[in-house]
C-alpha cells in the first residue's frame, strides 16, 4: 500500500505531530520492530480491523485484559446498562462491593481489596502499604519484572551483587531509587545474599511470579519457595504482581499454581489489573485484613483516587469475572493456548529455527532461542532482527503478536480452533522465509 492510501500511515503521521512518538504508550510505536503501527478501528471476538479495514487475529488482547475476546455480548450489555446509570460518582456503589466479593472469593490470600485505576497505581500503592505496614524503607525487585512506571520501580541492577539500582528513566532522581535493590530473577544465591545483608531493612520483595514483561519467564518453584521463606524469616512482605497473571493463568492466579506445588503458599499482598477490569481502566491491590487495615481511612497509609471503583469499569470487570468463573473455562483456554504454542513449535522445528515456548492458562511466550531463558540476561540473547522479520511476516498475513520480543502473548476464549490452525499455517510459511 502506498503511503498516500495507507490510512494507518496517514494516522501515524497525524499522531506524531501531536502525541510524542505518535502513541500513548511506547511499545505501541513499533520501535522494536520498525514499520507503521496498526490503528485499530474496531474489534470483535478474536479479531480487530485496522484503519485500512484489514483483519488481524489478535494475540495481544489489549495486553491481557480481553480474556473473553472483544465485545463479549454479556459484558457489552453490562457496560451499556452501567453507562445509562451514570459515568462516575466519586462515591461508593454496590457494584464495587460485588467486585471486591468476587475477587476475594477466588484468591484465598486476599481478605480485603482496594480498587484503583491502573496497574501502575496498584503496584505503587502496594509498595507504600508494605513500607507503611513494616516501617521499613528498602524493597527488592527483580531485573526484567515490570511493575508499572512509578519512580522507585524504574530501576535496573547496579554493578554488583546487593548494590542498589540505577534509574532506567530520565527524571527519576538517583535518591528516589536508593532504597530499591535489584536482583536477578530465579537466582536463589543472590536472594540469600541480599537478605543476609539487608534482611532487617527490607519492607518487601515484589515479583511477577510468571513474568510477562520479559516475554514469559516463570519463577522456579524452589526460587519462589526461597522468596517466601526469606520474607517470612526476616519480617518482609512478599508482594505478588499479578497484574498480568491474575485471572489470566488460572482462576486463582499464579499464586494458586504455586500453592499446588508448595502447600500453604500465599503472598502477603497481591497486585491485580487487566482482566479484573475486562478492558476498562481498573486495577486493585489486596491482602490480609491486618495489612489492608493500615490503609486510609482506617490506618496511616494514604491512598486515594477520584475514578477508583468507577461504576462503568466495575460493571465491565464484574461481568468478565462472572464469565471466567464458569466451570471448565480455564481448561478450555489452556488447551487452546497449548495447541497454539505446540503448533508454533512444530512450525519452527520444520524450518530449523531455534524456538522455545511456554504457556499457562491464556498466556504464552516464545523465544527464538534453543531453550527457555530463566532470567532477563538470557532473554536479552534473543535474536531481535529475526524476531522483527517474524513479527512483520505474521502481521502482513493477518496475525498480530506483540511488536517487541519482551512481551508475552494472550489467547482468549473467543479464539477458535480455526483461528489457531490459521495462525499455525501462517507461521509455517513465515518461519520458512526467515
Contacts with ligand HOZ by CB under 6 A lie at 25, 27-28, 63, 213, 407
How many CB atoms within 10 Å of residue 244? 29
Task: Find residue 214's DSSP bridge partners.
Answer: none
| Dihedral class, residue 415 (left if φ above 0, else alpha if ψ from -120 to 50, else beta) | beta
Q: How far is the CB of 19 from ligand HOZ (least distance, A)?
A: 13
CB 315 within 8 A of CB 82: yes
Contacts of 293 (CB under 8 A, 6+ apart): 112, 299
Q: How far is the CB of 252 from ligand HOZ (least distance, A)?
A: 23
Read off the C-alpha cell for 375. 532470567
Does the active-site annotation cover 274? yes
Give burial (CB, 10 Å; 0-12/13-18/19+) of 86.
exposed
Q: How far is the CB of 408 from ligand HOZ (least distance, A)?
A: 8
Q: How far is the CB of 184 from ligand HOZ (least distance, A)?
A: 20
| Cβ-closest position to ligand HOZ | 25
Q: How far is the CB of 283 from ligand HOZ (least distance, A)?
A: 12
Looking from the CA of 19 toward its CB, the CA atoms found within 13 Å total 12
CB 326 within 8 A of CB 281: no
Cβ closest to ligand HOZ, residue 364 vs residue 431: 364
Cβ closest to ligand HOZ, residue 28 vs residue 136: 28
Picking from 403, 339, 398, 406, the residue whose alpha carbon sits closest to that of residue 46 is 398
Cβ closest to ligand HOZ, residue 19 vs residue 304: 19
Catalytic residue among 47, 59, 226, 241: 241
Q: How far is the CB of 208 from ligand HOZ (least distance, A)?
A: 10
What distance in Å separates the CA atoms of residue 216 and residue 127, rounded to the nearest whole number? 23
Cβ closest to ligand HOZ, residue 64 vs residue 311: 64
Cβ closest to ligand HOZ, residue 64 vs residue 252: 64
Cβ closest to ligand HOZ, residue 27 vs residue 176: 27
Alpha helical stretches, state H, 7-163: 7-18, 73-85, 94-106, 119-134
Contacts of 257 (CB under 8 A, 6+ apart): 209, 210, 249, 250, 360
Cβ closest to ligand HOZ, residue 219 vs residue 348: 219
Cβ closest to ligand HOZ, residue 36 vs residue 190: 36
Helix, strand or coil for residue 142?
Answer: strand
Tell me the Cα Rg of the chain.
21
What distance in Å separates the CA atoms of residue 243 and residue 111, rounded to the nearest whole number? 18
CB 32 within 8 A of CB 44: no
CB 158 within 8 A of CB 182: yes
Catalytic residue among 58, 59, 141, 146: 146
Does the active-site annotation cover 146? yes
How many CB atoms within 10 Å of residue 354? 14
Catalytic residue among 226, 274, 330, 376: 274
Does the active-site annotation cover 376? no
Read off the C-alpha cell for 27. 511499545
Q: How far is the CB of 215 from ligand HOZ (least distance, A)?
A: 10
Q: How far is the CB of 28 from ligand HOZ (least distance, A)?
A: 5
Read off the C-alpha cell for 302. 494514604
Which helix H or strand E contains 192, and what residues bound it?
helix 188-198
Active-site residue list: 146, 241, 274
Amino acid at each position: 500500500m502506498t503511503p498516500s492510501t495507507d490510512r494507518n500511515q496517514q494516522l501515524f503521521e497525524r499522531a506524531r505531530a501531536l502525541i510524542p512518538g505518535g502513541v500513548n504508550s511506547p511499545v505501541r510505536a513499533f520501535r522494536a520492530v520498525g514499520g507503521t503501527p496498526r490503528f485499530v478501528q474496531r474489534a470483535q471476538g478474536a479479531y480487530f480491523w485496522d484503519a485500512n479495514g484489514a483483519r488481524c487475529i489478535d494475540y495481544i488482547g489489549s495486553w491481557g485484559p480481553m480474556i473473553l475476546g472483544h465485545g463479549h455480548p454479556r459484558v457489552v450489555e453490562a457496560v451499556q446498562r452501567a453507562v445509562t446509570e451514570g459515568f462516575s460518582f466519586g462515591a461508593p456503589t454496590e457494584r464495587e462491593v460485588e467486585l471486591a466479593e468476587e475477587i476475594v472469593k477466588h484468591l484465598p490470600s486476599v481478605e480485603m481489596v482496594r480498587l484503583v485505576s491502573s496497574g501502575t497505581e496498584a503496584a505503587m500503592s502496594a509498595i507504600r502499604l508494605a513500607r507503611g505496614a513494616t516501617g521499613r524503607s528498602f524493597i527488592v525487585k527483580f531485573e526484567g519484572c515490570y511493575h508499572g512506571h512509578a519512580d522507585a520501580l524504574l530501576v535496573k541492577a547496579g554493578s554488583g551483587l546487593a548494590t542498589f539500582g540505577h534509574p532506567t528513566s530520565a527524571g527519576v532522581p538517583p535518591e528516589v531509587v536508593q532504597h530499591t535493590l535489584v536482583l536477578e530473577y530465579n537466582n536463589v544465591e543472590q536472594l540469600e545474599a541480599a537478605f543476609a545483608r539487608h534482611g532487617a531493612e527490607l519492607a518487601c520483595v515484589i515479583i511477577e511470579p510468571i513474568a510477562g514483561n520479559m516475554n514469559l519467564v516463570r519463577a522456579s518453584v524452589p526460587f519462589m519457595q526461597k522468596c517466601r521463606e526469606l520474607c517470612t524469616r526476616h519480617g518482609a512482605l512478599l508482594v505478588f504482581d499479578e497484574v498480568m497473571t491474575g485471572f489470566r493463568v488460572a482462576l486463582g492466579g499464579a499464586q494458586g499454581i504455586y500453592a499446588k506445588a508448595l502447600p500453604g503458599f500465599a503472598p502477603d499482598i497481591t497486585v491485580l489489573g487487566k482482566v479484573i477490569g475486562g478492558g476498562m481502566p481498573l486495577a486493585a491491590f489486596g491482602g490480609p485484613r491486618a495489612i489492608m487495615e493500615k490503609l486510609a481511612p482506617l490506618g496511616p497509609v494514604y491512598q486515594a483516587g477520584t475514578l477508583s471503583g468507577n461504576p462503568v469499569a466495575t460493571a465491565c470487570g464484574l461481568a468478565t469475572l462472572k464469565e471466567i468463573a464458569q466451570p471448565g473455562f480455564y481448561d478450555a483456554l489452556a488447551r487452546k493456548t497449548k495447541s497454539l504454542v505446540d503448533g508454533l513449535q512444530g512450525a519452527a522445528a520444520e524450518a530449523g529455527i531455534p524456538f522455545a515456548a511456554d504457556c499457562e492458562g491464556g498466556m504464552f511466550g516464545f523465544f527464538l532461542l534453543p531453550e527457555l531463558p530463566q532470567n532477563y540476561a538470557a532473554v536479552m540473547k534473543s535474536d531481535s532482527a529475526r524476531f522483527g522479520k517474524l513479527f512483520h511476516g505474521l502481521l502482513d498475513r493477518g496475525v498480530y503478536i506483540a511488536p517487541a520480543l519482551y512481551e508475552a502473548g494472550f489467547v482468549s476464549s473467543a479464539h477458535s480452533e480455526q483461528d489457531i490452525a490459521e495462525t499455525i499455517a501462517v507461521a509455517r510459511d513465515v518461519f520458512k522465509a526467515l
